[in-house]
Structure 1
């Protein structure tokens, strides 16, 4: 990934925080079938130098063939993002030498996946994932809320994957290259238009 040093994020707690907050990621593989990509929700677990990703795919997903062959994997987690208009920059009025851009944060993870067919492992991953996503809800749903025979039938249709993280990169492009006045102009513009409170929070605390 192209990432100028100004935008590089290397703090592991920040990188892991984005993964946990935005678990739906693009799983990209490059194998004998060429490039393949799917949106998959992941759960993050401790282990190794950088952590372990776990997920499940539909048994009929052709990407499983690539993973079984040992295909290289890239997992892309996308956080808050927003379009930035030059109209928000005070410097526009001063010299006009400004262009539109896009602010965003993302994490890219690389590793090789292990395909897992064990129903107990897959059930534990489902419980972990749904537990993470449901924990803030007043009436949280649990896997055990579904009838046991229904859950068993569903488990037969999915396969687990585990990716020990070999490399992890973060890019936080939130206008660190702009003057403070321009950065404040973006924050004010987003607030005025009611756009992306998460991006406003990131920029305000940078």
Structure 2
């Protein structure tokens, strides 16, 4: 990923927050037949390894796990993103030398991928992933709420994914390269948009308090 210095995010807590807030990641592997990508939820176990370990699962019918990767896997996590019109820039009125752009947050995680089928390991991953996404609900659903035989039959249809992370690349493109007046304009413009994600992005633009 191309990361200009102004947009580089190497703060561990910021990177972890992006991963945790992303609903779905894109798991990409390079194979002899070309690249393969699958969108799937992943969670980061921070207690394992130097940078943590990513876990998830995909369908057994998905050919990605059968195709041996030729190198490390790549998991792409996307945070908020928004179109930025040059009409919001103060510079537009001054020189007219402005063009549209896109602001976004992303994290790329790299590491060797392991695919596994052991039922006990699959059950642990499915349980942990479910608990992560159910914990904020008033009445969380648990894997144990379903009949054990039913869950066991479903586990036979999935493949576990384990990626010990070797490195992260974080990028936060938030108009940091624009003059302060332009950033203020971008924040105000996004805050007035109808899309919730645009308004979320507005709060992340670095401007004076």
State whether TM-score is above 0.5: yes
Partner of residue 193, structure 1: 193
Asked if structure 2 preserves the Cα contact closer than 8 Å seen for 1:29 and 1:36, the reply is yes
SS of 1:44's partner is: strand
Asked if structure 1 preserves the Cα contact closer than 8 Å seen for 2:180 and 2:207, the reply is no
* TM-score, with length taken from structure 1: 0.94
- Which structure 2 segments of 5+ residues have no match? none
Cα distance in 2 for partners of 1:151, 1:136 equals: 23
Asked if structure 2 preserves the Cα contact closer than 8 Å seen for 1:70 and 1:113, the reply is no
SS of 2:183's partner is: helix
Matches within 5 A, 1:23-34: 23-34=23-34
Aligned length: 205
1:70 shift after superposition: 6.0
Question: Is 1:16 aligned to residue 22 of structure 2?
Answer: no
RMSD between superposed Cα atoms in Å: 1.5
Q: For residues 51-109 of structure 1, what are the alpha-carbon distances to aligned partners after superposition, in whole Å with 9 as ceiling and x for unaligned? A: 10001111111000125x56431111010000000011111111111000000010001
Q: For residues 151-191 of structure 1, what are the alpha-carbon distances to aligned partners after superposition, in whole Å with 9 as ceiling and x for unaligned? A: 11111100111100011100100000011111111111111
Asked if structure 1 preserves the Cα contact closer than 8 Å seen for 2:27 and 2:73, the reply is yes
Matches within 5 A, 1:1-206: 1-46=1-46, 47-67=48-68, 71-195=71-195, 196-204=198-206
Asked if structure 2 preserves the Cα contact closer than 8 Å seen for 1:84 and 1:102, the reply is yes
- Which structure 1 segments of 5+ residues have no match? none
Asked if structure 1 preserves the Cα contact closer than 8 Å seen for 2:192 and 2:199, the reply is no
